[in-house]
Amino acid sequence: MRIGVFGGTFNPPHLAHLVCAQEAYGQLGLDRVLLIPVFTPPHKPLEDDPGPEHRLELCRMAVDGDDRFAVSDLETARPGPSYTVDTLRELHANEPDSELFLILGGDVAAGLPRWRSPESVVTLATPAVANRRGTPRAQVVAGLSELPGAERARFFSMPWIGVSSTMIRRRVKAGQSIRYLVPDAVAAYIEAKGMYR
């Protein structure tokens, strides 16, 4: 089985996340894309965090009814900083016959050599890089070239969607609508729980 591994804070998950997952699924011929919300991101503070259990539930609501996608609690169930290498090792142990594809934005992929155990990351999973505005492909290739095995990286195209989790949180705080920017169930959950106020 070919599994896309899509990690992030998902604070909250929005349409650009889902389009990215969809494009990776279709263009790379994946059997499933796993959304894996972090417990604690190791490289940046998590602003306005409602807690990992809420972000996990938001992800479940975002993909409910779409059997191309699934949500994993591998990281939210493991306290402490969420290192991708640990998650990939666990996924590999659970599904040794599966081929893993680590879905990344270009900006993140370019910084992969600075992650924890980056050589192991690219050994355990093929980097699957979304071509997005702001980070030229040549910059991504140059960054990845520091890692042996990174030449296996696969690129997929994605329409530019100017939606971010930061924007969603700001809109909620300002009392503006987030309809059509997140799935309806996600918007309803945020409203019901009074999140991001």
Poorest-pLDDT segment among 29-38, 43-52, 71-80, 157-166 = 43-52
User: Half-sphere exposure of residue 114, counting CA atoms within 13 Å on the CB side?
Assistant: 8
Please indicate, yes or no, if residue 65 is contained in any of the structural domains: yes
How many structural domains comprise the chain? 1
CA dihedral 144, 92, 36, 48 (to 10 degrees): -70
Q: Residue 33 is part of a domain; what is its CATH number?
A: 3.40.50.620
Please indicate, yes or no, if residue 176 is contained in any of the structural domains: no
Residue 173 has a pLDDT of: 97
- pTM of the model as a whole: 0.95
Residue 12 has a pLDDT of: 98
Report residue 66's pLDDT band, with 50, 70 and 90 as the boundaries: very high
- Domain coverage including residue 152: 2-160
Please indicate, yes or no, if residue 92 is contained in any of the structural domains: yes
Please indicate, yes or no, if residue 133 is contained in any of the structural domains: yes
Mean pLDDT of 41-56: 90
Average pLDDT of the chain to the nearest whole number: 95
Please indicate, yes or no, if residue 19 is contained in any of the structural domains: yes
H helices of the chain, in order, are: 15-27, 52-63, 84-94, 106-110, 118-124, 137-144, 165-173, 184-193
Of residues 145 and 188, more confidently modeled = 188
Tell whether the model's pLDDT for residue 134 goes beyond 80. no
Please indicate, yes or no, if residue 172 is contained in any of the structural domains: no
- Give the residue from 19, 157, 21, 10 showing the smallest Cα distance to 102: 21
Please indicate, yes or no, if residue 91 is contained in any of the structural domains: yes
Please indicate, yes or no, if residue 27 is contained in any of the structural domains: yes
Residue 120 has a pLDDT of: 96
pLDDT digits (tens, 9 = 90+) for 79-126: 889 999 999 999 999 999 999 999 999 989 999 999 999 999 999 999
Residue 158 has a pLDDT of: 92
